[in-house]
Amino acid sequence: MRQIDLDELEDIAVGAGILGAGGGGDPYIGKLLAKAAVAEHGPVKVVDLEEVPGDAVVVSAAMLGAPTVMVEKLPRGDEIVKAFSLLERRLGTEVTHIVPLEIGGLNSMMPFCLAAKVGKPLIDADFMGRAFPEVQMVLPTLSGISASPMAFADDKGNGAVIEAVDNKWAERIVRASLVEMGCVTMIVGFPMTGRQARECTIPECYRTASDLGSVVRRARAKHSDAVAAVTEHLNGRELFRGKVLDVNRRTERGFARAEIKITGFGESAGQVFTLRSQNEHIVISDESQILASVPDLIITLDSESGEPVTTEELQYGFRVSCLVAPCDDRWRSEGGLAVVGPRQFGYDHDYVPAV
């Protein structure tokens, strides 16, 4: 068991922004929320998977909706606690541990905020190893673990608990509700035992994000190439560096969708690349071929600072570096691709590996 202090939160926010593959919500907003929660309620206890008892009662927490909306519509602060209370009441037992749904972006911090406010330990593991836009796009789905019962609550005080026949239906029901709630809601679900959590999570998500953030910080302190340092740390591949030419962005059915055109610099001069996103970056292509796709991570960084640039931040004139990195091996399996492969996002092609 350890405690995450305010200094480490800075590194985690940067690392989670990178792991979010453009999505997961603005990590800066998440960092501010987490700092406020720690200031009010004290440090959060973080435990490794091996420390979680087999009979522990574990639930997951996250923000669900369009990240672009969160930029202007900040959470009131008690939504996620309301959702937690609704679910705990429905379960009829005390929840003992909280686990992040995803390590990407703001959603690395929402379970942190909840753990601080309700005084529960936070497990250093998550369901994705990155960020994906839909409820069913998690490793527990591959293990047959239900998202239900799932509770959700909004900034107006509305809340509900749903029972869905499968995780895809849980996504459909909550997504329809969150559109009416203003395209953002807080969810708490996937009740499971500690034994199940050890089988269907990716361990050390906070350590991974913290290490990645420190890579950026150290590179900047030495005035070295932070983008190259991140690429090496992730065992990834830098595709190109360039300038954003155009962003076609829209909020549709509770998702932030975008098509971004980027013109290359240096070795990629004269080429135009197209980046397509649904909350997260889904597919990257040049004028002749697809270069990479989900479930691998497609990441945009500021070319000078190495800081992550999220989908909602990208705009004309930004100088960005695009790199790709491998996902958890379980996502590359036949079952994993059936849940998070490009065809699940409406693209008529197979998975194109990053490396």
The tens digit of pLDDT for each residue in 180-231 reads: 999 999 999 999 999 999 999 999 999 999 999 999 999 999 999 999 999 9
pLDDT confidence tier of residue 354, bands split at 50, 70 and 90:
confident
Burial status of residue 248 (CB atoms within 10 A of its CB: 0-12, 13-18, 19 or more): exposed
Residue 72, pLDDT above cutoff 80? no
Residue 259, pLDDT above cutoff 90? yes
pLDDT confidence tier of residue 320, bands split at 50, 70 and 90:
very high
The confidence score (pLDDT) of residue 248 equals 96
**What value does the CA radius of gyration of the chain take, rounded to a whole number of Å?**
19
The confidence score (pLDDT) of residue 4 equals 85
Dump pLDDT digits (tens) for 12-53.
999 999 999 998 888 888 888 899 998 899 889 999 999 999
The confidence score (pLDDT) of residue 59 equals 98
The confidence score (pLDDT) of residue 317 equals 97
Residues 6+ apart with CB under 8 A from 92: none
Average pLDDT over the chain, rounded to an integer: 95
Residue 8, pLDDT above cutoff 90? no
